[in-house]
């Protein structure tokens, strides 16, 4: 399963990239707005730091406007993936872009039939929003399982990108459910490697090494 960082913060990007675990980045208008910089400038900077798919979202609501924005975004860098809303116009735009060989990420998916439609128009990624479904006392992870079953049944190539991730358990469950990608905020990704027994074990190993009287291996 690929791990994407859901952020437009360049400091966070640099740190996760340095760990070697970041396969791509997802952004949205809200994340970009927090940075207080020009949209295209931020996207370009992200592309310089992460060698993988970078989702950049359109803001127009009609297909004509979406296509114009998509053309501008696609020119910024070869790794740009056009992020489109799961609306009739978004699906129309996705069909056109897919026909041109431009990768797409259809976002704001909340039920399996939406994912089916996105796959039929050639979406590269579908982004089910797990956390927001859980917020309504519904099982968000079941959506991942349902989409996985539909895509397997019919051989759709669209990749399932689990989004709206709130905690490490979401990441684990998405992996077990067969998601192709999970995109998570920096705070969640940092917690993926944390475990008290790892910390305790390392502390014990280092203490034993110090008692051996040796200062260095090299």
Assess if residue 133 is contained within a domain: yes
CA distances from 26 to 83, 110, 143, 194, 210 (A): 9, 18, 20, 23, 44
pLDDT in tens, 113-135: 999 999 999 999 999 999 999 99
Token couple for 112 = 């399996």
Assess if residue 32 is contained within a domain: yes
3-state secondary structure of 99: helix
Assess if residue 217 is contained within a domain: no
Assess if residue 40 is contained within a domain: yes
The range of the structural domain enclosing residue 147 comes to 2-211
Give Rg (Cα) of the chain: 20
pLDDT on residue 19: 93
pLDDT on residue 64: 97
pLDDT on residue 156: 98
d(Cα 132, Cα 110) in Å, to the nearest integer? 9
Assess if residue 158 is contained within a domain: yes
Q: What is the DSSP string of 118-153?
A: HHHTT-SEEEEBHHHHHTTTS-HHHHHHHHHHHHHH
Domain count, the chain: 1
Assess if residue 94 is contained within a domain: yes
Are residues 83 and 55 in contact, defined by beta-carbon separation less than 8 angstroms? yes
At 182, which CATH number?
Answer: 3.20.20.70
User: Considering 11, 40, 83, 120, which one is annotated as catalytic?
Assistant: 83
pTM, to two decimals: 0.93
**Alpha carbons within 13 A on the beta-carbon side of 83:** 21
Q: Is there a catalytic annotation at residue 49?
A: no
Assess if residue 49 is contained within a domain: yes
d(Cα 39, Cα 33) in Å, to the nearest integer? 8
Assess if residue 33 is contained within a domain: yes
Residues of the chain short of pLDDT 50, as ranges, are none
Nearest to 188 by CA among 12, 8, 10: 12
């Amino acid at each position: 399963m690929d791990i994407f960082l859901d952020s437009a913060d360049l400091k966070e990007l640099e740190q996760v990239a340095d760990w070697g675990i970041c396969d791509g980045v997802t952004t949205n208008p809200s994340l970009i707005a927090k940075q207080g910089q020009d949209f295209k400038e931020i996207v370009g900077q992200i592309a310089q730091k992460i060698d993988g798919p970078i989702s950049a979202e359109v803001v127009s609501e009609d297909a004509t406007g979406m296509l114009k924005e998509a053309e501008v975004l696609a020119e910024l860098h070869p790794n740009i993936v056009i992020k489109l809303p799961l609306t009739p116009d978004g699906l129309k735009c996705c069909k056109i872009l897919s026909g041109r060989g431009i990768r797409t990420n259809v976002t704001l998916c909340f039920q399996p039939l939406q994912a089916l439609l996105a796959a039929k128009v050639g979406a590269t990624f579908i982004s089910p929003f797990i956390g927001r479904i859980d917020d309504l006392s519904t099982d968000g992870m079941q959506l991942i399982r349902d989409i996985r079953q539909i895509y397997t049944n019919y051989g759709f190539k669209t990749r399932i990108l689990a989004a709206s991730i709130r905690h490490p358990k979401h990441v684990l469950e998405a992996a077990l459910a067969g998601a192709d990608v999970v995109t998570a905020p920096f705070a969640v990704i940092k917690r993926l490697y944390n475990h008290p027994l790892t910390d305790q074990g390392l502390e014990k190993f280092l203490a034993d090494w110090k008692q051996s009287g040796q200062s260095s291996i090299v």
